[in-house]
A and B are shown apart, each in its own frame.
Chain A
Amino acid sequence: MRQLSVCDLAVERGGRPILADLSFTLRSRELLLVTGRNGAGKSTLLRAIAGLLPHVAGTISIDPADGPVGEHAHYFGHLDGLKSSLTVADNLALWTRIAGAPGVDIIAALEEVGLDHLDDLPAAYLSAGQRRRVGLARLLLVRRPLWLLDEPTSALDAEAEATFGDLLAAHLARGGLAIAATHRPMPVPATATLALEAR
């Protein structure tokens, strides 16, 4: 049983307060949906939890686990981190060498997202949706309890969205936690919703 606790979180960007006095807890098998208008701070919240943005006040912790929250989290955002000149398999190969990565096969992970036939294609030739799917395959290569998903279903077609739903449901069933910032309905029912107000 894992628990993510966010307590009195405040984040500023460029000197302007984006989030203030934000508190919530999330337990294993729970999916938190973050909603709000453009600029309400959805991405800011996810990046602050991952540790990619400094916060001016409050605490973020995940129990039981040591080290920063970011080392137990996957951040799946707008940018896919793919190098155009490397093949799909080579792009993913680096992440299989990460400390604590189980022996997940790259081809097996690509098979789960329906891209196993493209493993030797340079990433430059992938469509936007295919790039997102490679990003999903990365989430499967390294098992981490917390998934931070920023608009996870954008650019995905109906079939890929269903696949994503299955992967997310399996992650939650394994005892994982997930926070998704989205405008669109998620393929997996959310446990709770956090509505952010634009400031």
Chain B
Amino acid sequence: MGFFLALIGRTARLSLGAGGGAFTGLVFFLSVVSVVPFGVGPDMPLLARIGPAMLWIAALLATLLGLDRLFQDDRDDGTLDQLILSGLPLELVVLAKATGHWLATGLPLVIGTPVFGLILGLDGTAIGLVTLTLLLGTPALTFIGAIGAALITALRRGGLLVAVLVLPFTIPVLIFGVSTVSAATTDGPSIATPLLILVALSLASAVIGPIAGAAAIRAALD
């Protein structure tokens, strides 16, 4: 257990410290969000309506950007060998690294969301709900992304390939994240339904992600 927690802490520290760390993700998030009003034009009601979706899409892209080095760095410098020999099951190694990565990249996005929501002219309820759904939903993005990160470790290719591989599988998270917010602002089903499905997606991917990621790393041993 001590090793598991220490690995989470170390991954978070490395993600924060390295060049492509949390702040780059946050600045990217801010860039996407602030570009939208220029594209859409000065139409405040329209911005407020599409705002939650834009925040979610920006968060999705920002989460996927930093993922490609999650296991590749460890493979290149030999750390992955040592982690495999550590005695901690590889599934838990993947879980710890994904959790650490989320703490360093996903959590800052959630904390920054209220500020970015103001840029898009969202009202208080919408800002609160977007922040809540991102808090509950971004772990799913990171855990699904960890599968892609593990797969490209085998292929020795980086960059956009993770995004291309992972993006289709994150669509359900995006749908239920955004529909939670729109359920609150329109007359329709209660927000509990999409919110609970979003939480279920996060919990399920926290199980499937580490198992699939570990399988991908094992298959790549050579």
Contacts and interface: CB of A to CB of B under 8 A. Distances in A.
Interface of A: 13-14, 50-54, 67, 70-71, 73-75, 77-83, 85-86, 90, 93-95, 97-100, 138
Nearest to B86: A98
Contacts of B82: 75, 81, 95, 138
Interface string B59-84: 00000000000000010111101101
13 contacts: A54-B222, A70-B85, A73-B85, A74-B85, A75-B81, A79-B78, A82-B77, A83-B14, A85-B17, A86-B10, A86-B14, A90-B10, A100-B87
A51 B78 contact: no
Given A75-B82, A94-B6, A53 B77 contact: no
B89 to A, nearest CB: 11
A158 to B, nearest CB: 25
A135 to B, nearest CB: 9
Main secondary structure of the interface of A (DSSP, over half): loop
A82 B81 CA distance: 12
A83 B85 contact: no
**Residue from B3, B17, B79, B82 having most chain A Cβ neighbours under 10 A:** B82
Main secondary structure of the interface of B (DSSP, over half): helix
A98 B76 CA distance: 22
A50 B123 CA distance: 58
B78 A50 contact: no
Given A86-B13, A94-B7, A79 B2 contact: no
A54 B217 CA distance: 12
Contact of B85 (A54, A75, A82, A100): A75
Given A94-B7, A97-B2, A52 B84 contact: yes
Contacts of A78: 78
B88 interface: yes
Given A14-B222, A97-B6, A70 B14 contact: no
B115 interface: no
Interface of B: 2-3, 5-7, 10, 13-14, 17-18, 74, 76-79, 81-82, 84-88, 221-222
Contact of A52 (B10, B79, B221): B221
Contacts of A82: 77
Given A83-B14, A85-B18, A93-B6, A98 B87 contact: yes
A197 B77 CA distance: 29
A184 B82 CA distance: 25
A81 B6 contact: no
Report, nearest first, the 3 A-B pairs whose CB atoms are least far apart: A79-B78, A81-B78, A97-B6
Nearest to B79: A81
Given A13-B222, A14-B222, A54-B221, A80 B3 contact: no
Given A71-B87, A79-B78, 12 more contacts: A51-B84, A52-B85, A54-B221, A79-B81, A80-B78, A81-B78, A83-B79, A85-B17, A94-B7, A94-B10, A98-B87, A98-B88
Given A85-B14, A85-B18, A71 B78 contact: no
A12 to B, nearest CB: 9
A53 B104 CA distance: 32
Nearest to B3: A97
B84 A70 contact: yes
A182 to B, nearest CB: 18
A161 to B, nearest CB: 21
A13 to B, nearest CB: 6
A138 B86 CA distance: 12
Given A75-B81, A81-B78, A83-B77, A99 B221 contact: no
Contacts of A97: 2-3, 5-6
A150 to B, nearest CB: 11
A98 B93 CA distance: 12
